Amino acid sequence: MERFGCKTELIAGNGALCALGELGAKRVLCVTDPYFAQNGTAARLLSLCAGAQTEIFDAVEPDPSVELAARG
């Protein structure tokens, strides 16, 4: 048996991106589609997470298979 739990906090609206650097995250995973990874949007977003280890998962597609979800 496995369990996974996490406290979920959603931040939205004006200033939400600036708040990324204030969260104190140690590891950040950006889950996106290939377009935002290729045009630099994902990298710019992660640059706001100062001091965190970051990674981009850019294989998101509509109606993903179980295998793709597991890779993510």
pLDDT along the chain (72 residues), means of 10: 83 85 88 93 90 92 87 86
The pLDDT score that the predictor gives to residue 24 is 86
The pLDDT score that the predictor gives to residue 39 is 95
pTM greater than 0.75: no
The pLDDT score that the predictor gives to residue 43 is 92
**44 close to 37: Cβ distance less than 8 angstroms:** no
Closest among 47, 28, 44 to 36, alpha carbons compared: 44
The pLDDT score that the predictor gives to residue 32 is 92
The pLDDT score that the predictor gives to residue 10 is 81
The pLDDT score that the predictor gives to residue 50 is 81
